[in-house]
Every structure is written in C-alpha cells, then in structure tokens.
C-alpha cells in the first residue's frame, strides 16, 4: 500500500520533449532549404534561432526531471536571449556613434538619418526590455516558492 510517487517527467514525456526539440531544428532546416517561397525561408530563419535556443533544454529531456525545472530553464534562456539582444542593439548604436561619420545634412539620406528616432524610443526595444524584466521577476518568484 506504500505507493512510490514518480516525480518529474516519465520516460515517454522525456522522449517526446527530445523529439520535439530535434524535430523543430530539422523542420527549420527544411524551411530554409526549400526552393519555393521566400516567406517560408524567413520563417525557417526565425525557427533556426528558436530551435538553437530550445536546444539548450535537450540535456533536461530525461526521465525524472521535473517539468517545473524545464520551464524555469526555458525562462532563463529566453531572458538571456532578450538581454543579449538589448546589448547588441546598444553596441550597434555605440559603434555608429563613435566609428561612423555623422550623416551629411545636405543630402536627402542625411536628413532622413538625422530625423530618425533614436533606438531607445522604439517600441521593439522597450518590449524586449519589458519581457526580460518580467522573465527575471518570474524566475525570482519561482525560486522563492
């Protein structure tokens, strides 16, 4: 009458997770190398990045690993991706500021560059920053529980 409770994923669930991760990468490669549509190529390029990030979860696709741990590690990977994305945008901005010649205000292109919105005002940058912050708070909150 003494039941042993299995904690974590079953062998079948771990195999499914592993097959999903590997299958996503293969599907992305098929989309990249298909010769029919540029739209499918773009989706494939995005999926390659996603599959590369999700590939970090492959060592956790073992029986007995808790799903909660897999989710927490997935959030850590996503948060690190967002932070690296923000740092790379900032580094590109600084490169342009310090190493490129300023735009010529006498040309049409120069006027357009001078009138452009700075990167820190773009909604995409703030969205990525908010996502990184929310993920950091969720990870902290989950670690407290």
pTM, rounded to two decimals: 0.80
Digit-coded pLDDT (tens) for 23-47: 999 999 999 999 999 999 999 999 9
pLDDT beneath 70: ranges in the chain: 1-6
> Are residues 87 and 126 located together in one domain of the fold?
yes
Neighbours of 90 (CB within 10 A): 13
Number of domains the chain contains: 2
Domain identity same for 44 and 96 = no
For 10, 18, 19, 57, the CA distances from 64, given in Å and listed in that order, are 6, 14, 17, 14
pLDDT, one tens digit per residue, over 4-14 is: 456 789 999 99
Residue-level pLDDT at 7: 79
DSSP state of 122: S
Q: In terms of domains, do 94 and 41 share one?
A: no
pLDDT score for 2 = 45
What is residue 6's predicted lDDT score, i.e. its pLDDT? 61
- If asked whether residues 104 and 36 sit together in one domain, one would say no
The confidence score (pLDDT) of residue 130 equals: 96
Distance CA 100, CA 114 (A): 14
Determine contact, residues 52/22, Cβ cutoff 8 Å.
Answer: no
The whole domain housing 138 covers: 66-145
Q: Do 71 and 46 fall within a single domain? A: no
Give residues with Cβ within 8 angstroms of 75, minimum separation 6: 135, 138, 139, 142
Are residues 45 and 25 located together in one domain of the fold?
yes
């Amino acid at each position: 009458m003494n039941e042993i409770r299995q904690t974590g994923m079953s062998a079948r669930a771990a195999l499914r997770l592993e097959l999903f991760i590997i299958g996503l990468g293969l599907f992305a490669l098929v989309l990249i190398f298909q010769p029919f549509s540029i739209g499918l190529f773009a989706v494939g390029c995005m999926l390659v990045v996603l599959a590369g990030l999700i590939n970090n979860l492959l060592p956790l696709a073992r029986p007995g690993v808790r799903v909660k741990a897999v989710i927490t590690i997935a959030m850590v990977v996503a948060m690190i991706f967002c932070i690296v994305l923000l740092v790379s945008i900032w580094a590109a901005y600084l490169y342009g500021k310090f190493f490129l010649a300023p735009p010529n205000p006498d040309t049409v292109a120069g006027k357009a560059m001078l009138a452009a919105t700075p990167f820190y005002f773009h909604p995409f940058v703030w969205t990525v920053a908010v996502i990184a912050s929310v993920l950091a708070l969720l990870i902290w909150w989950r670690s407290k529980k």
